[in-house]
Chains A and B, each alone.
Chain A
Amino acid sequence: MTGSARPPTTATNDSTDPAGSVTMASTGFPELDALLPRLAAVPALEAAALEAEQVAVLGRKSGLLTAALKSLSSLPVDERKRFGAAVNQLKGQFEAAFAARAEALEAERRRREAAGLDLTMPGRRRWVGAEHPVTRVVDEIVGIFRELGFAVATGPEVETEWYNFLALNFPADHPAMDMHDTLYLDTPPAEGEPGGRLLLRTHTSPVQIRTLLAGPPPVRVVIPGMVYRNDAIDASHLPAFSQIEGLAVDEGISFVDLKATLTHFARRFFSPATRSRFRPSFFPFTEPSAEMDVECQLCHGRGCPACKGTGWMEILGCGMVHPAVLENCKLDSERYTGWAFGMGPHRIALLRYGVPDIRLLLGGDMRFLEQVGRPGGTDTGGVDA
């Protein structure tokens, strides 16, 4: 080992200072002065000797200074005061010297240890957890819409037919209902309940109704939450999954605002160059209605099995709020217009993380959660540290 490998040892010199600088002055009491050489010797003691010396000088039962203090009562009053002060001063000096020496020895020990370390050995880690991929998708979506002045609204998961269907302009006994295979509760509705049967909401849109009924526009909200469908579980279906909707209602809101906001969203969520398109579609509660596609995130528009060769992936449904919905919420549909969208964070999480089976999102497999929970997700191959 060469001298140059050793770090400078200033710490040792510094730490002896407080003890060294004042020790050698006489206390004026010979029995105390007799201890001064032992004080001066402290900086040279090795670990075992240091411990023994500490007990010998400061020990609670038989330490020299303890004994000196015990003898105090036999002294005359004026002497007692001076002697007591001197003992205490000397005690402080010993304590400081012991502490400084102990620190120096510890630093020396660490330095010796460090010089022999194999730093290629693995570091010590902590457990890290993570929010669920679906939560992260929801948070990201909410974050983008917050930038655009939207607030978060929530509502109950058990709803009545009125909030879930009728207020949203679903005609009774219409095939549009087939798009919403509904789970009903085995709880009879209350006497005279105008809302009809109790059900598990099939979309978060009932919260649109609740939000619009709560007061006049302008309204800009995003609504995350669980929704339910009477679907059998398979690789792409769950009977309960997350949805997030957005709603903007005010004077002067048009289809152009819808397109602009959602196009902006797609660029923020996917990448600034992401292309998107709007296709006509049908939802009872919006008109005109649209589906929004973004270019396939796997093939970037070239066409692949995931996008069935179209180059596009459907990510959300949207449209102008149907005037009948505004009217059901006691709003003047000639004065106010609005737009709304809805999308499925479960589905988007599958896209984003390249997960082939939605059931993986349902489970609690630590191996899966650790993998998708890494900072940056699976695409970076990063390791938590």
Chain B
Amino acid sequence: MNISLRWLEDFLRRELDPADVTGRLAMLGAPVDAVEPLHRDLSEIVVGLVEDVRPHPNADRLRVTSVNDGTERRLAVVCGAPNVTAGKKYPFARVGATVPHGKGGVPMKLEKARLRGEVSEGMLCSARELGLGQEHDGILELDTDAAPGTPLPAALPLADYRLVVDVTPNRPDLLGHKGMARELSASYGTPFRLPQIPGAAGIDVPHARREGAAGSAGRLRVTIEDPQSCPRFHAAVIRGARVGPAPEWLRRRLESVGVRSINNVVDATNYVMFELNQPMHAYDLALLRGGSLVVRRARAGERLVTLDGVERPLTPDMVAIADAEGVIGLAGVMGGAGTEVSDATRDILLEAAWWDPGRTRRARRALNLSTEASHRFERGIDLWGGDAAMRRCIELVLATAGGELAEPPLDLWPTPTHPPRIFLRPARVTQLLGVELPWHELERHLVAVGATVVSKPEDGRIAVDVPGWRPDLQREIDLIEEVARLHGYDSFPAELRPFRLGTRADAPEEAIAASLRRRLAAEGFYEVVSLPLGGDHAADSVRLLNPLATDEAWLRRRLLPGLVRLVEANWANHVADVRLFEIGTAFTDAGAGRRPAEERRVAAVLTGRREPAHWSGTGEARFDIWDLKGRLEAAVALAIPEAEVQVEGQALVVRDGEGRVVGQGGPLSADAPPWAAPLFGFELLVDSAPRRPAPFTPLPTTPSSERVLALLLPEGVHAQQVETVLRRAAGALLERVDVESDYRGAELPAGTRSVAFRLTFRAPDRTLRDSEVDEAESRLLATVAEELGIQRRDAASRDGG
């Protein structure tokens, strides 16, 4: 919302400092996003009185003028403007002054010049040169009583600050200057009142004629057919107006809030909207057909060319204003081009209505047409403020365009209501705010924002009649917020008071994720947090209904593909050593009518050197599948302890206790540059079941015996199979099995490799005899030979290995 500081000054009748106002508004809940100086660059321009005009001796189009700039001397100024006239005042830039928009639109410092032989000691300026408009056909004639030499900003209400205020959706009243002035009035403790309209002295607009659902305005029959959408409708007819350029002050005022001047009548309606927050509309009465105006739902197939020249299809969900032959306006959003006020307009119909916020919102969303009016109606304007706004608008039109108000304005209000009354209990204020505020302070704050209060100490509460412009005040808590806000949030103490501990248990998945993060970071991985949205999808992907871009249209079902993209981006930056992980949510479709399955997953990728390069020669080795497998196993232990890593073909597959695949790992294909090291990665489900610490196993008190079995594994037999058989066959005495080496060589029998297993035997209660271990060893050899066809590698060839 754009707010003019000067406009507020006119309300509060005092000077305002923009920084001070900004600070106060912030602490009142309406932070100022920006303060924009307007025409602060005109301080060097003064009012100049042209006392004499004579032809230029050497140029037909130029004149030589004598300018009174308030000093003794009359200055000779050469001027090319056709409208320069002796006895009139114009903006004047002396030699040395800077004209804000000189040649080419850039600031220009004036020097003494000679134009076709004649000395010129300054410049009379056009509106465009001063940034006051686009007019450049002539110089800007000033209608001012200010003496020559008066700085222009002092002579005209020009210099201003525009405050760009962030108004929250619950405060429609702050979308008008009167509402802002009311807030500042409460803050400064000074009164405020509506500014005088120049030229309106003596105009006295009568109060409205109250009617039900129908009434007449001039010869027009006005009817509300849809009182749900339009509970109140004001209309007035002004005849014989002269539509034309708006006066300077009105143009400046609209310019200060960023609105372009159209003509005196349209500007009057806009002025009222920015002042009183009541959007208005003006029709050219002569263009209304059939003598009737109806507020009704649009009919299927009806279309309207709106003021912006676009033809728009309407639906029965939208409310329209129609004459006898068709729709002429889209309620709450935009008027129609067909009945627009133009310079030819003589008779005007003014409208001030209250449109249903929800319906307005749906209409503007359906048409994708957001306007200053729809913005206000959506938030809810003052149902009881239409009459004052209409009378203000009539006053403005009569003052700027002339004409005559035919009869008192019409006020259609089928079901009159009062603003709501709510009750405030001071004890409840204390309960919620933690501080006891005296009754008189509560009352003072509520009165300051326009409420009417009646204290009822006997039943411990204050009756509050809420003003119509505050639709956000609906229940007691809303009043408590008002009290807190006006008391000042900073005035409440920040003292830590005793509290009870909460009774909710910690969510285990956060602790599990934290343990995974610590582990993976310690392993050298960096965490990433990527977008769960993407363009990749599969049959069970979850699709979004309204994505902003097609590459954000699907929810991810896996994390790993995203990590691979990030590795590729690093390769593109010539970064070869990449270790990344992510813990995040993945989604899979669970069918129509069901929430998608949400899984917390962890994924990691690694490529490049195993450790940083070192001059000693270490750090040249690159990550291989074993690095990946080790990290995958470590992650499984933390993420889903019941699961185990299994080998299926050339892939590592993680299965949980029920045999479901919950993760996998292995080499990854990617768009890799030739110098890139192999890329590996894994992805794994994170089980959110709370973890229990593993129970203590007593440390061994007896010695162990170790044996190394070098076994010849035929093609197709895996170490894990061997280990499984060894463990089963050895029974309880076998404590651990470690793989010591994996050797392939020509001296081995064809189609075999030699894998050495180190077996550790231990009995918990006694020292094992060699014979027991020998016997176990023989039994194991016999079993692997029988079940897997594996022979022991003989002693002679073992030395060679």
Contacts and interface: CB of A to CB of B under 8 A. Distances in A.
Contact of B514 (A139, A185, A220, A264): A139
Contacts of A198: 595-596
B502 A218 contact: yes
A131 B521 contact: yes
A129 B520 contact: yes
A186 B544 contact: yes
Interface residues of B, number: 105
A231 to B, nearest CB: 7
Interface string B84-120: 0000000000000000000000000000000000000
A289 B492 contact: no
A215 B434 contact: no
Interface in A263-321: 263-264, 277-282, 287-291, 308, 310, 320
Interface string B606-621: 0000011011101100
Interface stretch (A11-19, A82-90, A96-104, A119-127): A119-127
Interface in A175-206: 175-176, 178-179, 183-191, 193, 198, 200
Interface string B673-699: 000000000000000000000000000
A124 B528 contact: no
Interface in A84-138: 121-122, 124-132, 134-135
Given A151-B502, A215-B503, A320 B514 contact: no
A214 interface: yes
Interface residues of A, number: 103
Given A152-B506, A282-B168, A364-B580, A290 B489 contact: yes
Contacts of B548: 230-232, 239
A367 B577 CA distance: 10
Contact of B615 (A122, A153, A362): A122
A185 B542 contact: yes
A137 B589 CA distance: 32
Interface in B504-548: 504-507, 509-511, 514, 517-518, 520-533, 542-548
B513 to A, nearest CB: 9
Contacts of B750: none
A187 B526 contact: no
B434 A220 contact: no
A310 B18 CA distance: 13
B29 interface: yes
Interface string B542-572: 1111111100100100000001001101100
A364 B585 contact: no
Given A279-B27, A282-B169, A365-B569, A126 B502 contact: no
Nearest to B29: A280
A198 to B, nearest CB: 7
Given A154-B510, A282-B169, A366-B570, A186 B545 contact: yes
A185 B596 contact: yes
Interface in A37-77: none
Given A127-B524, A149-B502, A287-B481, A191 B593 contact: yes
Interface stretch (B387-395, B493-501, B705-713): B493-501
A204 B522 CA distance: 30
Nearest to A122: B615
A255 to B, nearest CB: 5
Contacts of A323: 475, 477
Contact of B531 (A125, A238, A261, A310): A238
B611 A221 contact: no
Contacts of A364: 526, 528, 530, 563, 566-567, 569-570, 578, 580
A141 interface: no
A234 to B, nearest CB: 11
Nearest to A284: B170
Nearest to B549: A232
A191 B528 CA distance: 39
A337 B499 CA distance: 13
Nearest to B609: A127
Contacts of A221: 502, 504
B774 interface: no
Contacts of B618: 124
Contacts of B593: 187-191, 193
Contacts of B431: 252, 254, 337
Most buried by A among B542, B563, B577: B542
Nearest to B567: A364
B615 A121 contact: yes
B433 A277 contact: no
A331 interface: no
B419 interface: no
A230 B361 CA distance: 19
Contact of A149 (B499, B543, B584): B499
Contact of B527 (A130, A152, A186, A320): A130
Nearest to B581: A129
Contacts of A126: 524, 611-612
B594 A280 contact: no
A260 B570 contact: no
Contacts of A174: 169, 357-358, 361
A318 B485 CA distance: 14
A361 interface: yes
B369 interface: no
A256 B495 contact: yes
A175 B612 CA distance: 55
B32 to A, nearest CB: 9
A173 interface: yes
B547 A183 contact: yes
B40 interface: no
Contacts of B771: none
Given A185-B544, A279-B27, A365-B570, 17 more contacts: A128-B522, A129-B527, A174-B169, A186-B542, A187-B595, A255-B435, A256-B493, A257-B499, A260-B493, A260-B496, A278-B489, A322-B477, A323-B475, A323-B477, A364-B570, A364-B578, A369-B580
Interface of B: 26-29, 31, 33-34, 168-171, 357-358, 361-362, 378-379, 431-435, 475, 477-478, 480-481, 484-485, 489-490, 492-497, 499-507, 509-511, 514, 517-518, 520-533, 542-549, 552, 555, 563, 566-567, 569-570, 573, 575, 577-581, 584-585, 587, 589, 592-596, 598, 611-612, 614-616, 618-619
Ordered nearest first, which 4 A-B pairs have the shortest CB separation?
A254-B434, A364-B566, A127-B524, A280-B29
19 contacts: A125-B612, A126-B611, A128-B524, A129-B526, A130-B527, A190-B593, A198-B596, A218-B499, A219-B503, A232-B549, A240-B531, A240-B532, A248-B499, A253-B499, A277-B27, A280-B481, A280-B489, A288-B484, A366-B577
